[in-house]
């Protein structure tokens, strides 16, 4: 019963539902790639259908992210109002970069559902810049997570170390998720982060995000 109550509170949260949608999206992205490129016949056709489902979920999640950049901008502004340390500066840069990612995400949504007409070269340019902003966000958050984990280890705070390591893993996985087509593939040692790799990385990053939400104190109260 307690688990069901926690699940109910989890699903009432926007970020909870979004991360669940992200898991489904990236599972479909990865599985559709391998089925459509490694299989033949009915399994290949299944892969193509799953790819269509992946694209639909992607557009749906973008719809619910309309205006999200405002929250990132306000978060950066609130950090600016206090005395700044290195972690604060990194968090400001992460939130500003995430705001730009979210703003471009809104533009991509607009031309994906044909609200606006954008040329194919411009669409590619926008998608590339969006991936770069998302990767920059992940790198800023990774540095903060590494610094936080190091301080926790020095104090012998095992629980905080574990939390920091999870944050590090998530941000590294996020880099792999967005590397393809970003012109920053060197960050992942020029590994071909095709939809299969991106799908796997995105799935595990999303599962970590779900775990972090699931284990919050507010969800258990």
Give this prediction's pTM: 0.92
Q: Is there a single domain that holds both residue 108 and residue 160? A: yes
Match 């939390």 to its residue by tokens: 163
Enter the DSSP assignment of 179.
-
Same domain for 28 and 122? no
How confident is the model at residue 82, as a pLDDT? 84
Between CA 18 and CA 22, with CA 167 as vertex, the angle to 5 degrees is 20
- The answer to whether residues 152 and 213 belong to one domain is no
Is 72 within a domain? no
Nearest residue to 140 via CA among 105, 110, 97, 170: 97
Low-confidence ranges of the chain (pLDDT < 70): 1, 220-221
Burial 131-167 (b: 16+ CB within 10 A, else e): bbbbbbbbbbbbbbbeebbeebeeeeeeeebebbebb
Residue 79 maps to a domain: no
Instruction: Report pLDDT for 221.
Output: 58
Number of domains making up the chain: 2
Closest to 146 (Cα-Cα) out of 128, 171, 129: 171
Q: How many CB atoms lie within 10 A of CB 21?
A: 16
Same domain flag for 21 and 106: no
Residues 19, 59 within the same domain: yes
Residue 174 belongs to domain spanning? 86-190
The answer on 173 and 97 residing in a single domain is yes
- For the chain, the 3-state helix, strand and coil shares in percent, each to the nearest 5, are 85, 0, 15
Q: pLDDT tens-digit profile of 88-122?
A: 999 999 999 999 999 999 999 999 999 999 999 99
Q: Any idea what DSSP says for residue 84? A: -
Q: Are residues 51 and 124 in the same domain?
A: no
Task: Name the residue with tokens 């087509």.
Answer: 181
| Residues 182, 90 share a domain | yes
Residues 196, 34: contact at Cβ < 8 Å? yes
pLDDT digits (tens, 9 = 90+) for 169-182: 999 999 999 999 99
Q: What is the distance between the alpha carbons of residues 28 and 174, in angstroms, rounded to a whole number?
A: 17
Is 71 domain-assigned? no
- Residue 74 counted as domain residue: no
Same domain, 109 and 179: yes
Whether 178 is covered by a domain: the verdict is yes
Q: Are residues 110 and 160 in the same domain?
A: yes
Assess if residue 150 is contained within a domain: yes
So what's the pLDDT on residue 217? 73
Query: In this structure, are residues 140 and 90 in contact, taking their beta carbons and an 8 Å threshold?
Result: yes
């Amino acid at each position: 019963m307690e688990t069901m109550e926690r699940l109910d509170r989890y699903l009432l949260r926007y970020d909870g539902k979004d991360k669940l949608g992200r898991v489904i999206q990236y599972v479909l992205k990865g599985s559709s790639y391998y089925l459509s490129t490694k299989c033949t016949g009915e399994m290949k056709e299944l892969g193509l259908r799953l790819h269509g489902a992946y694209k639909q979920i992607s557009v749906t999640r973008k719809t619910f992210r309309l205006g999200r950049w405002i929250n990132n901008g306000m978060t950066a502004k609130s950090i600016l109002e206090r005395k700044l340390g290195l972690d604060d500066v990194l968090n400001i840069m992460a939130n500003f970069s995430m705001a730009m990612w979210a703003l471009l995400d809104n533009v991509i949504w607009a031309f994906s559902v044909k609200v606006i007409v954008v040329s194919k070269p411009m669409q590619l340019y926008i998608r590339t810049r969006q991936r770069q902003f998302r990767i920059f966000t992940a790198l800023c958050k990774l540095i903060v997570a590494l610094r936080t984990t190091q301080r926790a280890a020095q104090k012998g705070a095992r629980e905080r170390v574990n939390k920091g390591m999870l944050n590090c893993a998530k941000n590294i996985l996020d880099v792999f998720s967005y590397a393809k087509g970003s012109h920053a593939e060197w960050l992942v040692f020029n590994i071909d982060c095709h939809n299969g790799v991106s799908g796997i990385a995105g799935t595990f990053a999303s599962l970590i995000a779900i775990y972090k939400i699931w284990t919050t104190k507010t969800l258990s109260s």
